[in-house]
């Protein structure tokens, strides 16, 4: 069960019914730019490169022509790749002295053809800027996730959900406009991250939000199931103590995983719970039935892993960034205000 896991067609005004004015063809002349490049590049490279030091001789400064011949030895890789690309593309660009609109398309096609025939040019640039490429990819993934989640929220609104809250401890204002139901696992690292964001938002929107917690332990991890039983059974005692115990289970999850349920028992005592009663309640049939009922409810809502959060009727899937979680919360509040 449990898996921890974006005016007129001519651009001017004209008389009604009149044919669009024809623009005068302008020719593209790249020759001055290319000649400037050929003239300036040797001097630029001569100043940029450092000549090879020969023992017993004073340092020499390469002439422009010698520097051009020494590119492969001394030039920065990014500059070398750029210069190689320009030298390859420049003759092709100069071969298209045609009207500007057509020139744009033909130049683009020429660039495409060169890159298809020389894919190493792209690969060189990507390798030399791998960190930037990774950052761009991550931004793209985040934008796509946001678009997907927003689209899913529109579907969620067409399928209202009614989680069972009878007899369930609620954190926050009992009459709050928004109810967040957390389907989570105390030992899931992504759930711990989501819990931190949730606590920040609970404080920020105090009085407007209430929280119910439903444990979805990893059935393949016996310790995860044990901790879930302890967490649920704690609410048979004083709620304030149970919520503090709940927070501690998340905060000390790594210690629990390392040292077992002895850490859980120590935390129960630390936060004022009756340990003997907690052990008895955690092993009871009632606790087992409630865990099973919560799991069945989650499956009915299409929840297949942890963490998931039901924000009124909106599902927040996974440990999303805090601002994305807050967007769901604000949307739920806005919808409530419109009712």
Q: Which residue ranges form the domains of the chain, and what is each CATH number?
A: 31-128 (no CATH), 166-338 (3.40.30.10)
Cα separation, 254 vs 199, whole angstroms: 19
The pTM of this model reads 0.62
Average pLDDT of 156-178?
A: 92
Summarize pLDDT for 30-62 with one digit per residue, the tens: 555 554 454 455 444 444 444 444 445 554 544
Tokens of 8: 């007129």
Percent of the chain with pLDDT over 90: 49
Number of DSSP helices (H) and strands (E) in the chain, helices first? 15, 5
Average pLDDT of 264-285?
A: 97
Percent of the chain with pLDDT over 70: 69
Task: Quote the mean pLDDT of the chain.
Answer: 78
Q: Is the dihedral of CA 174, 175, 181, 187 positive or negative?
A: negative
Cα separation, 166 vs 82, whole angstroms: 67
Cα separation, 51 vs 337, whole angstroms: 72
Summarize pLDDT for 121-145 with one digit per residue, the tens: 777 777 777 777 777 777 776 777 7
Summarize pLDDT for 217-268 with one digit per residue, the tens: 999 999 999 999 999 999 999 999 999 999 999 999 999 999 999 999 999 9
Q: What stretches of the chain adopt beta strand conformation (E)?
A: 171-172, 178-184, 209-215, 308-311, 314-317
Confidence of residue 99 (pLDDT cuts 50, 70, 90): low
pLDDT above 50 (res 64): no
């Amino acid at each position: 069960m449990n898996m921890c896991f974006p005016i007129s067609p001519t651009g001017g005004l004209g008389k009604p019914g009149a044919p669009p004015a024809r623009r005068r063809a302008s020719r593209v002349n790249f020759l001055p730019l290319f000649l400037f490049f050929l003239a300036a590049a040797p001097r630029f490279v001569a100043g940029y490169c450092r000549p090879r030091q020969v023992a017993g001789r004073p340092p020499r400064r390469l002439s422009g022509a010698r520097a051009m011949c020494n590119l492969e030895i001394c030039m920065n890789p990014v500059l070398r790749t750029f210069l190689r690309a320009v030298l390859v593309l420049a003759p092709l660009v100069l071969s298209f002295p045609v009207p500007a609109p057509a020139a744009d398309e033909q130049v683009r096609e020429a660039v495409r053809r060169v890159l298809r025939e020389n894919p190493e040019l792209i690969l060189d640039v990507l390798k030399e800027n791998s960190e930037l490429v990774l950052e761009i990819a991550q931004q793209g993934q985040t934008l796509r996730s946001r678009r997907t989640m927003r689209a899913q929220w529109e579907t969620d609104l067409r399928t209202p959900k009614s989680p069972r809250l009878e007899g369930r401890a609620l954190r926050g204002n009992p009459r709050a406009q928004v109810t967040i139901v957390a389907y989570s696992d105390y030992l899931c690292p992504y759930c711990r991250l989501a819990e931190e964001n949730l606590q920040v938002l609970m404080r920020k929107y105090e009085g407007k939000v209430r929280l119910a917690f439903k444990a979805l332990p990893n059935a393949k991890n016996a310790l995860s199931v044990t901790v879930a039983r302890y967490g649920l059974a704690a609410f048979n005692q004083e709620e304030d103590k149970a919520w503090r115990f709940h927070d501690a289970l998340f905060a000390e999850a790594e210690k629990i995983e390392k040292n077992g349920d002895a850490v859980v028992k120590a935390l129960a005592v630390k936060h004022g719970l009756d340990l003997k009663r907690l052990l008895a309640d955690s092993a009871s049939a009632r606790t087992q039935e409630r865990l099973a009922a919560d799991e069945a409810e989650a499956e009915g809502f299409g929840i297949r892993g942890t963490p998931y959060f039901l924000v009124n009727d909106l599902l927040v899937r996974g440990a999303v960034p805090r601002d994305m979680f807050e967007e769901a919360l604000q949307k739920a509040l806005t919808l409530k205000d419109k009712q």
